[in-house]
Chains A and B, each alone.
Chain A
Amino acid sequence: MERLFCDPRRCVGCRACEIACAVEHTPAKDLFRAVLDGEVGPPRRRVQTLGGEPYRVAIGGVVLSLGCHHCDPAPCVDACITGAMHKVNGETLCDVERCIGCWMCVMSCPYGAITPRVKALKCDLCPDRRERVGRARYACVEACPTEALFAGTFEEFQKILAEPVVSVWGGRP
């Protein structure tokens, strides 16, 4: 199964992924309309500073973008008392219609990847995006200007990690 990984050497902490993610999860799926309609919610992945180093832009290896790892077995799925949190083909998804906001999943997620905001909000791997825009499936990956975000298997990502990064703006080899 394809998952998302972030190369900390390439991540400059620009938060383009956060904005793209937040916008993707609005009804309008458009930044300006979402802002005007006041519909922007929290992003489901966040740029985080390693070890809480002061936030610095364009310093490789200090920031990275993190979200749900779609782990299996998923503690959030075990913990869900309504069946809202569930697995489909390896993906961990929350059926927000069923979510009652008990935050059992927030307590259980060892990666801190679920945001409690009335409903449990988490990465849903942009389920309808490819059909809608005809481009990349993931809003965050598409938005990343330095190609720090990568969609694929960890084995593929390891090959990227093995390659040196000359310049974050140069793209991946």
Chain B
Amino acid sequence: MRFVVIGASAAGSSAAETLRRYAPQAQIIVVSDEKITYSKPLLSYYLAGKLGEEQLFFRPPDFYERYKIERIHARAVGLRPEKSAVELSDGRKLYYDALLVATGAAPRFPEVEGIQRDGVFGLRRLEDASGILERLPTARRAIVLGGGLVGLKAAAALKERGLRVTVLVDSPHVLSQMLDESSARIFERIFEQNGVAIRTKAKPVAVLGREKLQGVQLASGEVFEGDLVVVGKGVDPNLELLEGTSIQRDYGILVDDYLRTSVENIYAAGDVAQAQDVLRGEPWINALWPCAVEQGRVAALNMLGKETRYRGSMRQNSVQFFGVPVISAGLAVLTPGPLGGRPGEHDETLEFSPAPGIYRKIFLKDDTIVGFVLVGDVPAAGLLRILMERRVNVAPVKERLLELGPDLGYLLPLIAENREQFAEREFKELVQTVSVEV
């Protein structure tokens, strides 16, 4: 068997690892247009100077040798499903028995005048971070376009590097794809307290400059001066490879519950794959590290003929800004909108702030968790997440869900009542253990 994986980030690496685990003899080829395999979510830590380049590797340096995976540094430029072949930028042609497309996504740049200027960066690839770092000695002010996760992580990193940073956000509040307004305001204050200026409802219309970048102009006419611009306005899936094929796509590559594309022997995983979303009930891209790793593994199992159903992804995230952690999941958290939640998503909210700096909010619909936000202290967030994912009616435990440290023991009777939703071996063992007669 010959497996070809296009992409060497979260999904690609996880797939290659899984393929080797179950197919010791198979030929496994990973193609990537990047020289090394590193963790993209860590780039802001690299930018801040908290991690060195070698600390960005999320697998041991000898990963490819140890797993006997051939890694080709080239760009996959063409796909010929009728010949089961992939064409590479170096002129080579690879034939596959099963192919995984894990080409990921690229930063979305707003269509404003001057966005192609020298000094405007995304923060998605190592060379983006290196490019920004090269400019640091001569830069004093930075402008970040976008108040999402990447934008704010970049802003915090540049602040730590001693720059004056202004974040320009289109939306009414920061983190509009992660937090509700009141939780987002907490972080706006934290950023302001740490010297990062945040301007919401700010629509940029032009990046100004001649030879040297000068700043960003807003629709209001206002100009923010800056020596470099970082764009963090979301990502778009890399679909170029599919051009000329009949592989079905919507926003990303459409895959079924086994992560198969519409063309035989071709699978997709990670930020390029539009798989089932358990909360939305429709295919969606949740461009998140944990989803990509899981999809890579599930796709690999199916490529191996070990039929494995993908449970689906959902919006969730965990991050820490200036030492304050936040975990949020679910759609109800988001303001209704085309990318956000839907109206009527929740009919009840539970809020709790046991101490200054600690804030928790749970969104319910018909006594089922449909979203939550934990700020400042995040123990056992996974318990809330699993109750939400499995759509458990939490009426019996509702009163105590917000308490610090809801623990598994407290929830076990409820889990035992809903045991058909908890098929994992460990949950089955636990249910059996607590069901034993005293």
List residues of A whose CB falls within 8 A of some B CB.
5-9, 46, 48-52, 60-61, 63-64, 66, 69, 71, 73, 75, 78-83, 98, 100-104, 106-116, 154, 157-158, 161, 165
- Across the two chains, which residue of chain A brings its CB closest to B51? A100
Are the C-beta atoms of A8 and B424 separated by less than 8 Å?
no
> A107 with B329: in contact, given A52-B400, A81-B58, A83-B39 (CB under 8 Å)?
yes
B55 near A107 with CB under 8 A, answer no
- Residues on the B chain within 8 Å of A106, using CB: 318, 327, 378-382
B434 touches A64 (CB 8 A): yes
Check if B426 sits within 8 Å of A79, measured CB to CB: no
- Across the interface, do B319 and A102 meet the contact criterion of CB distance under 8 Å? yes
The number of chain B residues with a CB under 8 A from chain A is 53
Given A5-B433, A8-B434, A103-B327, residue A112 in contact with residue B426 (CB < 8 A): no
Q: Chain A residues near B233 (CB, 8 Å)?
A: none
In the bound complex, residues from chain A placing their C-beta under 8 Å from that of B294 are 73, 75, 78
B residues within 8 A CB of A110? 382-383, 385-386, 424, 427
CA distance A8 to B429 in the complex (A): 13
Q: Can you list, as one digit per residue, whether each of B383-402 has a CB less than 8 Å from chain A (1) or not (0)?
A: 10110000000000100100
- Extra 15 A-B pairs, beta carbons < 8 Å, given A60-B438, A100-B50: A8-B433, A8-B438, A66-B409, A71-B425, A73-B297, A82-B39, A98-B55, A102-B41, A104-B289, A107-B317, A110-B383, A110-B424, A111-B383, A112-B379, A112-B382
Chain A residues positioned under 8 Å from B251 (CB to CB): none
The one of B41, B413, B434 in contact with A81, judged by C-beta atoms closer than 8 angstroms, is B41
The docked-state distance in angstroms from the alpha carbon of A113 to that of B386 is 13
Q: Could you name 18 residue pairs across A and B whose Cβ atoms are closer than 8 Å?
A: A7-B436, A48-B410, A49-B410, A50-B434, A64-B434, A71-B424, A79-B290, A81-B39, A81-B42, A83-B58, A103-B325, A103-B381, A106-B318, A107-B318, A110-B382, A111-B408, A161-B432, A161-B436
Are B42 and A75 neighbours in the complex by a CB distance under 8 Å? no
Mask: chain B, 52-81; 1 = CB below 8 Å from A; 0 = not: 000101111000000000000000000000
A49 CB contact (under 8 Å) in B58, B60, B409: B409
Please, how many angstroms separate the alpha-carbon atoms of A82 and B57 in the complex? 7
Residues of A within 8 A of B433 (CB): 5-8, 64, 157, 161
Q: How far is the CB of A124 from chain B (nearest CB, A)?
A: 17
Which 7 A-B residue pairs are closest in the complex by CB-CB distance?
A: A48-B409, A112-B380, A61-B438, A83-B58, A79-B290, A110-B386, A109-B382
Q: How far is the CB of A153 from chain B (nearest CB, A)?
A: 10
Query: Do B325 and A116 have beta carbons less than 8 Å apart?
Result: yes
Which residues of A are found within 8 Å of B438, using beta-carbon distances? Answer: 8-9, 60-61, 165
